[in-house]
Structure 1
Amino acid sequence: VESGLIEVLMFSINPCYDLQPPSENVDDLWADESYAHSLENIDPEREKLYELCEQKGIGLDVMKAYGGGDLLSETNSPFGKAMTPVQFIEYALTRPAVASVMVG
C-alpha cells in the first residue's frame, strides 16, 4: 500500500474481524480464544491500513462482510447476538476507503 503500486485491495472487513490482530492463519479468526478478550475497539493495525488506503486513494473492496455467515447466527456469533445483512453492509461502507462490499 505504501509503495503506491496498488490501486485496489480486497480485504475481509466486518465488526468481528476488525477486532482481531493481524494473522496469516485464517483459522485464528474463528478460534474461541481469539474472542476471550473484550469485544470492542478496532485493531490498531487494521485501522491504520484503512486510513492509509484512504490517504493514498486506494479503494477497499470488502469480502467476508457476513463472516462466513456465522455473524448472522446468534448461536455462532461471538457477540452472542445475530446481526442483519443491512448492519454488515452499513458497517463496511462506513470504514475509510471502502468502495464496495462483496457478499455471498
Structure 2
Amino acid sequence: MKEIILIIRPEKLEVLKSILDEKNCGGMTISTVMGCGTQKGTVEGVNEIKGFKTTINLLPKVRVEVVVEDSKVEQIILDVREKVATGHVGDGKIFIRNIEEAIRIRTGERGEKAL
C-alpha cells in the first residue's frame, strides 16, 4: 500500500476528487494549507513593532491524502498530471510513501481490506 499526498491548487480539488473516485479510492483526507515552492508568491508588509519589511511567500493550497493499493499509484499520477496540471508554476507536488499497515477501527480488518 502507498500513501499519496497531493498538494494542489484549490480550484483543482473537484477534478482531483473525480480522478480518485474513478479509481475507486476508498477515502481521502483533505486539508486547506498555505505554502510556497518555486513560485515564491509574495506579499510584502511592514511589521509595525520593529519597523522592518517581511516577505510572506505563502499561497493557499489544498492537501489531499489517500492510501491506495500499489497497483493504482501510477495511473493516479498519470491522470493527475493530465487533468490537474495547468502548465504554470504552482501546480503543486505529489509525494508517495510506503504504508506498512492499515487497520479499520470498527471491524479490525487489516491491509487492503481496511481501505
Q: TM-score range by the shorter chain?
A: under 0.3
Instruction: Say which structure is richer in helix.
Output: 1
TM-score norm. by structure 2 comes to 0.24
TM-score norm. by structure 1 comes to 0.25
| Structure number, greater radius of gyration | 2
Q: Which has the higher contact order (CA 8 A, sep 6+)?
A: 2
Instruction: Say which structure is richer in strand.
Output: 2
